[in-house]
Chains A and B, each alone.
Chain A
Amino acid sequence: MRLPVISILATLMLTVPCAAGAPASEIQRLIDEATPGSVIEPSPGIYEGSLRITKSITLDGQGKVTIDAGGEGSVIEIAAEHVTLRGLIITGSDKSVSGESAGIKANTGPVTIENNRITDVYFGIDLKQSPGSIIRNNTIIGKELELGRRGDGIRLWWSHACIIEHNTILNSRDMVFWYSEDLMIQNNAVRESRYGLHFMYSHNTTVRENHLTGNSVGIYLMYSNSIHLLENQIDNNRGTSGYGIGLKDCDDIKVVSNLLAANRVGIYIDNSPSSADSTGLIHANKIAFNEVGLLATPNTHDNTIYDNGFIENEEQVSVHGGGQLFLNQFAGPDRGNFWSDYNGFDRDHDGLGEFAYEPRSLFRTMLAREPNLRLFVHSPAQQAIELTARAFPELDPDPMLSDPKPLVLPPRFELDTIEAGPGGFRMGILSIGLILSSLFVMIRLTVEREISAHPGAPRHD
């Protein structure tokens, strides 16, 4: 619903655009004078200062209204239910750690925050006890601070049943959910941050089709139960933790149809499930080109892992600190996983290898004993050790897992494939350049020319 009066009033009052920026108190006055439920559309321009919204209104900037707090406190604080912020450009919060300032801060809800651009802020959107809120289609870019000093892009605190979708976050710490249940988190993109999505004690949530790339960790679930991770694309998360997905003490997690590529570790399982009667499911994920495909602590148990493609990970599965994973099932009812390093065969053409996939590697076993030896990966000496182990079976270590029904072909994935970079053309140029220049040198140096030999030159023909 729209109150034209307010709009007209606003237009009348604020028709004088100021190059240097009008004070935000002009909008604040509109808010204070508005009746609950009204829509406020300030005239386009830059407003300096911060806002405090104390009644249920809609503030719509239509993408042309900038509010700049100038580095002091939070930019917009919401202290009322049913507030909608739409189409605003919000910038310049305080950056002190103790202040926890934010672009948008709410202490009650529900609120709707959509189509905003929030830049140069400590926290992006910070909701406390705002159940039923919607955060949609915002772009949040944090301050250029070192990773640990940044604020969170989006933080939910005791806010159940929220929808968070189509947001883009850059340069922040985490998109983090504290004590918030029944959320819907989909189609968000988080880049260059610490943890893409971070769950603390937040249960019963679906996380679907998010794109998490270039963070320290893609998705980190901690002490959070019954979470479904579906069809997310998680790549190039290589920070100090460097997990695509990390599961710490979580029960009943389902990780299904995700793409995990080029992370330091694809999936890290730390004591999940932790309760005796719960299980974990890792199904139909593509886990490719990571340093370690699946890393698990030795106490990990009761996970069912099948129909995944473990493709060309430097190390397919590793046990943190050494040990075995026989308390987990690396196969479903009728099929296991695809392992790109499986060298068995399929005699009866049922799509399953005729003998189990049981990775054993003397070098990996030595690595588990002495991590410093990792220095020697990618070297001929590593190959020499593996060859020795194969030649002398008594040196061969025990396998760390067994997949009784390995797939001989990688499962199909419904995910969009990632486009190849534009490197092909430059690579082609490089290829031609290298070959041509070596040919040029060859011809130049071999074709006999008139050598104006000085007296000391030897002749040789």
Chain B
Amino acid sequence: MSTINLNGTAHHPRNQSTATVAYLSFARSIMLIARREFRDALSSKWFLLYTIAFTTLAIGVSFMSLAGSGEHGFAGFGKTAAGLLNLIMLVVPLMALTAGAGTIAGERERGTLLYLLAQPLSRTELLLGKYVGLAIALICSLCIGFGLSAGLLAWRAGGVGAGSFLMLVVFTSVLALSMLALGVLISVQSRRAGVATGIALFVWLGLVFLSDLGLMAGTLLFKLRVQEVFALAIINPLQAFKMNVIINLNASLDVLGPVGMYASQEYGATLPWLLTGVIVLWCVLPLSIATLIFRKRGGI
């Protein structure tokens, strides 16, 4: 859209305004769907459940880790950070994958998808609108959980600084966006919400446990070199997320042993960008593929 806009600027003012209108209409359609999706999410059980679960767990982890640290101001890499990290890696992908998986497949199962597609909307607009709406709902849910646990940390003066904590929220949101995209990809391919959720759970298991365990086994069996372990590990967006968080808290990956030290020395300041790139790729690729599939497949 914007390229048309740029090309038309010099000679065809009329053309330009048409392009702008088209772009605005595109954005507005997406926002309308997003708003509807967001409202549905807020009134649905999953949003409430996820928000309560994530908030309770985040506060619980912060509280338990603070109980150990007592009056001391610092906590090294810290049980708070490590505990939150573990929690996020378990819960956030689960939230995002299942939320994404339910969206199109659910509407398809209930028959409401055909009604939506009958509206003067393109399929791309519908899909992206749903994605944006869910993304805002998820990030709100995360922010409430993080906000309350930040409140607890502030009250008890934990070891994590406010800047690092904010970055943790940002990284987690980006991770949630990529997992949501993956969930949406699962959803456009499924006819039933139950099947989509099942696949989402399997993908979650794979990303959280199986790929790491497999890579560990590979490292032990084949005596992989550090660069090989690193390259294989960062394919997994969860590992990339974890490294990004640790760099942010610790300035170096020395916590992660030889592989971490290799990564820090080899890539230096570009490492966070590399890792963020991996996660963003995990967001853009599934969403693009989902859009292509949805445009072809539509309501069925």
Contact = CB atoms under 8 A, between A and B. Distances in A.
B191 interface: no
Contacts of B220: 366, 369-370, 373
Contacts of B161: 421, 423, 426-427
Interface in B37-79: 38-39, 42, 65, 68-69, 71-79
B270 interface: no
A312 B69 contact: yes
Contact of B140 (A375, A379, A433, A438): A438
Interface residues of A, number: 67
Among A311, A432, A438, A451, find the residue whose CB has the most chain B CB atoms closer than 10 A.
A438
A374 B259 contact: yes
A375 B260 contact: yes
A300 B239 CA distance: 36
B254 A238 contact: yes
A4 interface: no
Interface in B1-53: 24-25, 28-29, 32-33, 35-36, 38-39, 42
A62 interface: no
Interface in A281-316: 288-291, 311-314
Interface stretch (B149-157, B275-283, B291-299): B149-157
Nearest to B122: A456
Nearest to B82: A378
Interface in B189-239: 208-209, 212-213, 215-216, 219-220, 223-224, 226, 229-230, 233, 238-239
B113 interface: no
Nearest to B21: A454
A391 interface: no
A426 B73 CA distance: 15
Nearest to B226: A372
B158 interface: yes
A429 interface: yes
B150 A460 contact: no
Interface in B233-288: 233, 238-239, 242, 246, 252, 254-260
Interface string A158-200: 0000000000000000000000000000000000000000000
Nearest to B243: A375
Contacts of B69: 288-289, 311-312
A31 B157 CA distance: 56
Contacts of A381: 208-209, 212-213, 216
A375 B29 contact: no
A374 B86 contact: no
A385 to B, nearest CB: 8
A138 to B, nearest CB: 28
Contact of B72 (A418, A427, A453): A418
A446 interface: yes
B246 A378 contact: yes
A314 B77 contact: yes
Given A238-B254, A375-B257, A380-B209, A441 B150 contact: no
Nearest to B26: A456
B68 to A, nearest CB: 5
Among B90, B140, B163, find the residue whose CB has the most chain A CB atoms closer than 10 A.
B140
A286 to B, nearest CB: 9
B289 interface: no
A445 B38 contact: yes
B32 A458 contact: yes
Interface string A388-427: 0000000000000000000000000000011111011111
20 contacts: A242-B254, A261-B72, A291-B76, A313-B76, A370-B220, A370-B223, A372-B219, A373-B216, A374-B255, A375-B256, A376-B216, A418-B72, A425-B154, A427-B151, A427-B157, A434-B146, A435-B147, A438-B144, A457-B28, A458-B120
